[in-house]
Structure 1
């Protein structure tokens, strides 16, 4: 039994459903899995009145209840099953008032299933700009359900929506008759289905017939029984669905003709459509997108640098103060050289993460990101990807895990599998700390044409390398994985809007918090483990090292002697032994045993690399407590064979290329296994990406050294 009433938000993509969800639930939101499936859901608490707290479930956006992908299948699976724990007491169908003709198709289907429904008229301001006026009272009379005018962006109309929900919960108002009654064309089929499965709704019986193979709540004998009914009545599903769609649109047109006044001259384009002629142009569209990307990566370096320097200096200062004021000993070393040095390697990159997500949020809020998906669809198809693959690939710039989960919207199995396998090649935010610190070491902070920062150009080049490699890998996989299925990309372009700054701020806050919390926990644990491994060694090996250094270097004193001892002790530690063990394998790439330790530790998560390097060089330099920043530690590192700086352009770019391609994220592999339900594909993903990373890094180092 439900502990609280369930309110489901249903609607087309870009109708404002998620905005309304945010308005209703505020910060009382959670994520989880729908029972029995791996599709994620958003749910939260809505205080309708002093006595009623409802659970609001944000269902995936769909155009109709006939699904073409896993997440769309979920919507019908819930609405057709009253026993489902997320079956709604009331369904709020959010519609775009500027495009009622298309939006009302889904509404009529949901209402015909017998779910108590409310129609939420959103984007009335957009309709008004298009010289359309919607008469909500007349619309409610024709549809037979409550109709509420809202603005999901501002929260306007929420009080009226509360009253309508309470009314539907207490005394449900349903349409007088079905908008489409399948019994009119297939009476005996519907009657047999209702009798055999104890149903009392004609349209629900039709869904049993058409979608029984996808319904998770029907067992195999029940599905076979429906196959028997279909064969008995020689039911032709495609013909019947076409007839249903035509009938619904005819009745919707009749409703709209009475409820909507359109004063716009016939054929006059809106200002969004005028902009789209440029933004979707086969030449200018790509040029504008490229220019926007360039501005983003320039801004990441130019805007974030002062904040990064301040955090870096602050962490170094705090480290120095703690070393001066706390008594010398293992606990102080653990706190300063282990924990603070490692966690400081994450905190310093907060400004760049914040600016990246701030700019991406602006593109999404304005409606431009949808245009990017459309123009990129032209390229994707040439490489064997579905146009819907654009969404996961773009999401992969933030994090590969939710991006892989987003592939559920892809209808064909092969296209979905290929997208899952290549998405980790897109440079995620975890790689950003590695990119920026290595670029800052070897790429001069100079400007081309007085405008473009060389460091920003290098960063953009790495992101483009990830995109190109993902497309090429997809093309190869397309040749290997044969199929006759064809994928389709359908997207309604939202109108351009001014960003909602509270949403942008929330997006940035959630992204930064997730980065710091997830990466911080990992780095804290690994920093402690690494400090122990780097501070202790087999037997009395570390004490012998100190004796040997003093005997072999009698002329060294002060900081020089302390640094030599610290470096030799690190090499003789457990961590040093691990590093030397793998050094022969990574030496062709230009890496030494210290970098090898960082590579090993970052197999759990890429962002651990910077924190690990910071910890290693803190332990390996006795005078680090004076306030040396992370960047200065790397600059001061010397190659023991040549005496020259360790981080040469050849080594730095070899590392950069390695991390562009390397699969070093356990969470991503787990997400791949979860989505494919097999360990075969994570193994393929890990194998081809690591081979690609090694070969590319080897070639880069050998060419540049």
Structure 2
């Protein structure tokens, strides 16, 4: 292939930093951060590269106008040059099949967008270069300035694949950087290239058929587009391009009808033509130095991990290990945090007094304790999930569980939201947009909140700790861990059962297919695991934590004050009763605190709803906690901590000790096994999360499904809780 007109790699990739910083001043958008988009096939190492480039300087938002996750971060390319890195969803081509992939085309088609990148870094799996280059050739024909990050060079070498990097760079006309993003190899070289001024690649890989040129040119000039291939994509996808107006879409529709343009057939022709070109290119670039005769070790492992019997047993053991860790390993740091908050509260109350001190100890610190105590469990849960994803096992679980899901009317891709729902229902519901079948997607969105998310862990932990003995099972498992896993399995069974019922009601007959590429097995990259843990813990502390703290302060106010003279009258009644019954000073103060709490604004509101929840075994205090936890499930424990702290000497007690010390009207422990089981079952099924309803509203574009979801889950929780309490009491 002639090199005429092809721009070779920038000379001197090892150029001095000073020279690069001078060049940086000539970058597009100088005066603001250079915007660089990461794009590549799934499992090409894009996320690892993003983590290497940005470290902890990451944030998660949404792409403008859609609810697809948008991860961005800041990378220090040189001592004086920083860039904004945008991590785009993984895709195999520029013809999107899901909402996740659609945001890529919306971004790359609109040069007038404020989010339009200055250039792109394309990640490619060096061990499967043929398939990965399809996406690169499409981006090149769009005229986007690009760098090819040739990742997984170690895997290619293990497979006996040798790549002539200089020849590949010459053929593509863009810089090619060999990398191992998991270990950070090649990242410094990539930063040097990204800091330089990059021009659009001058190589063309595909020319539209001559008979299409009249239609393409009319679209190109009407929209003032910079090349023919972009105009061709407008013809292919104008119905899905969000930034086009109805009139603009109507204009393209007329042209498509006039020239009898068939998108599906043309896409197939283009793909074949591109692969023909790629095959010719790779003949001079890739050399296979040896042929693997033995079966790859990953296939041998897959035969066990995805076996129809052993695969499920191994998965159950992995879940056992996960939930045992959440209880056993996290117990020590949780106790330290809980006792530390109680000690600080006791110290402050011993040395200071007054309304502000009460607000600090009974409101703010009690709420803070309800946030901090669960950090070890949240961190462990997401550490396990990150390790399962990093090693490649999570993809196998998804494939394996597909066999079960189809029997209940769920799409194979429904497994991803359901498994993700164990972490958080909000991103899990958003991940359902990868399901092409609309009915399957709606059913998945509807039942995903029944999976027990990490926000339920605080409720489960405290209540299980109250009524389940801390003793071993079979010598290796902890009974509390077994109980926790049982609650998760109950949520899973209810989710698939509800899906099966919806399948019958909605009469789904359309077939769908599940296709997934297995990533290779690897040892987890602990830096990526650590970043995941830090990101999730920060989200819990600063998002859920803000809600918990705010509600704790509001609750303290509502529980510390009442209408008119109600609080003073309650105290007088309590002291008179104490005198008549000859109570001790400690018993008197406890009676006063209880009477005042019951007469407060919070107490009156709790009594208002108590008749509805009394059949479940709940009292007015639990009723307050149920209502406040609708903002976020994990608020329940913070609310209970605050309710049982107000006006009492319980601040030196832990949250669990406060609940264990609560007595009913007969002086018996309030949180009996029957009452605790009823509350646990209620939280397994209840929606109890405004954010989840908001996510369902965004994904379904209306209030019909969120309202049905709320009514169904609340009704299911009430009936199940009623049944459990009435049977066990």
TM range (shorter): over 0.9
| Alignment correspondent of 2:699 | 675
| Alignment correspondent of 1:402 | 427
Compute the RMSD of aligned alpha carbons. Answer: 2.1
Q: Is the 8 A contact 2:678 2:722 kept in 1?
A: yes
Task: Give the Å deviation of 1:373.
Answer: 1.4
Distance 1:213 1:484 in 2: 26
Q: In the alignment, is residue 121 of structure 1 matched against residue 150 of structure 2?
A: yes
2:484 pairs with 428, 452, 459, which one? 459
Distance 1:34 1:508 in 2: 23
Q: In the alignment, is residue 183 of structure 1 matched against residue 209 of structure 2?
A: yes
Distance 1:484 1:187 in 2: 41
Matches within 5 A, 1:582-597: 582-597=609-624
Single out whichever of 481-490 and 577-586 deviates more from structure 2: 481-490
Q: In the alignment, is residue 68 of structure 1 matched against residue 97 of structure 2?
A: yes
CA deviations 1:631-687 (Å, max 9, x no partner) are 1221121121x4321111111111001011111111221222222221222211111
| Alignment correspondent of 1:578 | 605
| Alignment correspondent of 1:639 | 664
User: Structure 1 pair 126/456, CA: closer, same or farther in 2 (3 Å)?
Assistant: same
Distance 1:519 1:56 in 2: 27
| Alignment correspondent of 1:628 | 653
2:336 pairs with 306, 310, 320, which one? 310
Matches within 5 A, 1:125-204: 125-166=154-195, 169-175=197-203, 178-184=204-210, 186-199=212-225, 201-204=227-230
| SS of residue in 2 equivalent to 1:673 | helix
CA deviations 1:585-643 (Å, max 9, x no partner) are 001101111111211221211111111111222226x3324x22221221121121x43
Q: Is the 8 A contact 1:312 1:629 kept in 2?
A: yes
Q: Is the 8 A contact 1:7 1:56 kept in 2?
A: yes
Q: Is the 8 A contact 1:116 1:174 kept in 2?
A: no
| Alignment correspondent of 1:690 | 714
2:676 pairs with 623, 645, 652, which one? 652
User: Structure 1 pair 223/485, CA: closer, same or farther in 2 (3 Å)?
Assistant: farther
CA deviations 1:329-378 (Å, max 9, x no partner) are 32222222222222212222222112112222211111111111111222
Distance 1:556 1:425 in 2: 48
| Alignment correspondent of 2:319 | 293
Distance 1:489 1:134 in 2: 33
| SS of residue in 1 equivalent to 2:284 | helix
Distance 2:224 2:408 in 1: 49
Task: Give the Å deviation of 1:691.
Answer: 0.5
| SS of residue in 1 equivalent to 2:39 | strand
Matches within 5 A, 1:159-308: 159-166=188-195, 169-175=197-203, 178-184=204-210, 186-199=212-225, 201-265=227-291, 268-308=294-334
Q: Is the 8 A contact 1:431 1:607 kept in 2?
A: yes
Q: Is the 8 A contact 1:183 1:202 kept in 2?
A: no
Q: Is the 8 A contact 2:54 2:85 kept in 1?
A: yes
Distance 1:83 1:267 in 2: 52
| SS of residue in 2 equivalent to 1:30 | strand
| SS of residue in 2 equivalent to 1:10 | strand
Unaligned runs of 5+ in 2: 1-27
| Alignment correspondent of 1:34 | 63
Distance 1:599 1:635 in 2: 19
| SS of residue in 2 equivalent to 1:663 | coil
Distance 1:632 1:99 in 2: 57
2:636 pairs with 598, 603, 609, which one? 609
2:524 pairs with 473, 476, 499, which one? 499
User: Structure 1 pair 199/357, CA: closer, same or farther in 2 (3 Å)?
Assistant: closer
Distance 1:547 1:50 in 2: 70
1:56 pairs with 71, 79, 85, which one? 85
| SS of residue in 1 equivalent to 2:598 | helix
| Alignment correspondent of 2:542 | 517
| SS of residue in 1 equivalent to 2:147 | strand
Q: Is the 8 A contact 1:602 1:609 kept in 2?
A: yes
Distance 2:631 2:379 in 1: 23
Could you tell me the TM-score, scaled by structure 2's length? 0.91
Q: Is the 8 A contact 1:183 1:190 kept in 2?
A: no
Task: Give the Å deviation of 1:185.
Answer: 6.4
Task: Give the Å deviation of 1:267.
Answer: 5.7
Task: Give the Å deviation of 1:200.
Answer: 5.0
Task: Give the Å deviation of 1:76.
Answer: 1.7
Single out whichever of 440-449 and 408-417 deviates more from structure 2: 408-417
Q: Is the 8 A contact 2:570 2:592 kept in 1?
A: yes
User: Structure 1 pair 51/551, CA: closer, same or farther in 2 (3 Å)?
Assistant: closer
| SS of residue in 2 equivalent to 1:148 | strand
| SS of residue in 1 equivalent to 2:72 | strand
User: Structure 1 pair 539/360, CA: closer, same or farther in 2 (3 Å)?
Assistant: same
Distance 1:564 1:196 in 2: 80
Matches within 5 A, 1:328-407: 329-407=354-432
Distance 2:549 2:97 in 1: 43
Task: Give the Å deviation of 1:493.
Answer: 1.1
Q: In the alignment, is residue 45 of structure 1 matched against residue 74 of structure 2?
A: yes
Q: Is the 8 A contact 2:46 2:123 kept in 1?
A: yes
User: Structure 1 pair 205/524, CA: closer, same or farther in 2 (3 Å)?
Assistant: closer
Distance 1:297 1:271 in 2: 29
Matches within 5 A, 1:482-493: 482=507, 485-493=510-518
Task: Give the Å deviation of 1:196.
Answer: 4.7
Q: In the alignment, is residue 666 of structure 1 matched against residue 693 of structure 2?
A: no
Single out whichever of 77-86 and 6-15 deviates more from structure 2: 77-86
Distance 2:122 2:705 in 1: 38
User: Structure 1 pair 682/188, CA: closer, same or farther in 2 (3 Å)?
Assistant: same
Task: Give the Å deviation of 1:172.
Answer: 3.6
User: Structure 1 pair 337/138, CA: closer, same or farther in 2 (3 Å)?
Assistant: same
Distance 1:486 1:86 in 2: 37
| SS of residue in 1 equivalent to 2:143 | coil
Q: Is the 8 A contact 1:278 1:284 kept in 2?
A: yes
Q: How many residues align?
A: 698
User: Structure 1 pair 533/453, CA: closer, same or farther in 2 (3 Å)?
Assistant: same
Unaligned runs of 5+ in 1: none
Single out whichever of 263-272 and 301-310 deviates more from structure 2: 263-272
Task: Give the Å deviation of 1:218.
Answer: 2.4
Distance 1:242 1:369 in 2: 32
Could you tell me the TM-score, scaled by structure 1's length? 0.94
Task: Give the Å deviation of 1:402.
Answer: 1.9
User: Structure 1 pair 263/468, CA: closer, same or farther in 2 (3 Å)?
Assistant: farther
User: Structure 1 pair 46/353, CA: closer, same or farther in 2 (3 Å)?
Assistant: closer
User: Structure 1 pair 549/229, CA: closer, same or farther in 2 (3 Å)?
Assistant: closer
